[in-house]
């Protein structure tokens, strides 16, 4: 009994030491010093928005037109544009002032919360990671210079976390893994399927949509924890 207890305790010390070292390396890489503090987590709410491709931009805003920078987003290089469009759903209901986020992408895509989709008359829209739009519903998009009929591209973006490789090492996760996000406070809840997205240019940042943010009362608390 005694020797087994000793062996177990040595085993757990080894594991925690290894974890400590991995964290230390990751933190040093991050340049956050040696005090063992976790990388700073920010959680942002993405309101409904659209990404446009060059071809659709030409139709909606005129040939050769460009997105106008309005304000930067947390992830380097991404921005909210001044341009907005109107989306028409399957039962001719519409939402105007749908903001476009830049830069332009290879494919146009509309990201809605479920509440938006219901308002527009969609029976259901799939939960996808941005860019994965094959087989998703389409919509009619109206811009100041023309109208585009998207054959596909309407999704609810699944809740996800952006991080760089050092932050992924800190958490011990890989691209596509699912993490948990616990939100404290009066309306608190835990999200169980926060998809990991890794890019060298990323900063640790969870994106949820307005339905998710309202459900968990994100604005009511700073008690937030991301874990495997």
- The residues of the shown chain that bind Zn ion, judged by CB under 5 A, are 207
Residue labelled with tokens 């952006």: 162
Distances (CA, A) of 44 to 147, 164, 186, 193, 227: 31, 17, 19, 16, 17
Cα distance between residue 79 and residue 49, in whole Å? 12
Cα distance between residue 155 and residue 130, in whole Å? 8
The CB-of-84 to Zn ion minimum distance in angstroms stands at 20
The CB-of-207 to Zn ion minimum distance in angstroms stands at 4
The CB-of-49 to Zn ion minimum distance in angstroms stands at 11
Show the CA angle centred on residue 26, arms to residues 21 and 28, nearest 5°. Answer: 95
The CB-of-212 to Zn ion minimum distance in angstroms stands at 13
DSSP code for 208:
E
Residues 6+ apart with CB under 8 A from 54: 104
Nearer residue to Zn ion within complex by CB, 23 or 51: 51
Nearer residue to Zn ion within complex by CB, 21 or 174: 174
The CB-of-104 to Zn ion minimum distance in angstroms stands at 17
Instruction: Transcribe 93-135 into DSSP letters.
Output: -EEEEEEEEES-BSS-EEE--HHHHHHHT-S---EE-TT--TT
Nearer residue to Zn ion within complex by CB, 44 or 182: 44
Residue nearest Zn ion, CB atom distance: 207
Task: Label residue 135 left, alpha or beta by phi (over 0 means left) and psi (-120 to 50 means alpha).
Answer: left
Nearer residue to Zn ion within complex by CB, 51 or 207: 207
The CB-of-132 to Zn ion minimum distance in angstroms stands at 13
Nearer residue to Zn ion within complex by CB, 55 or 199: 199
Nearer residue to Zn ion within complex by CB, 32 or 203: 203
């Amino acid at each position: 009994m005694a020797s087994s207890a000793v062996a177990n305790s040595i085993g757990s010390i080894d594991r925690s030491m290894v974890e400590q070292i991995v964290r230390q390396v990751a933190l040093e890489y991050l340049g956050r010093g040696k005090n063992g503090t976790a990388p700073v987590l920010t959680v942002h709410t993405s309101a409904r928005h659209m990404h446009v491709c060059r071809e659709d931009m030409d139709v909606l805003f005129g040939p050769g037109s460009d997105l106008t920078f309005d304000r930067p987003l947390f992830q380097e290089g991404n921005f909210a544009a001044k341009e907005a469009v109107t989306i028409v759903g399957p039962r001719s209901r519409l939402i105007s002032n749908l903001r476009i986020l830049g830069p332009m992408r290879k494919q146009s895509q509309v990201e809605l919360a479920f509440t938006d989709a219901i308002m527009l008359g969609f029976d259901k829209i799939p939960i996808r990671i941005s860019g994965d739009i094959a087989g998703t519903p389409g919509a009619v998009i109206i811009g100041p210079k023309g109208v585009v009929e998207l054959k596909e591209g309407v999704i609810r973006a699944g809740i996800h976390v952006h991080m760089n490789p050092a932050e992924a090492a800190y958490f011990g996760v890989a691209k596509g893994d699912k993490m948990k996000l616990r939100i404290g406070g009066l309306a608190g809840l835990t999200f169980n399927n926060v998809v990991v997205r890794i890019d060298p240019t990323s900063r640790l940042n969870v994106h949820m949509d307005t339905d998710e943010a309202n459900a968990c009362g994100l604005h009511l608390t700073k008690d937030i924890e991301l874990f495997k």
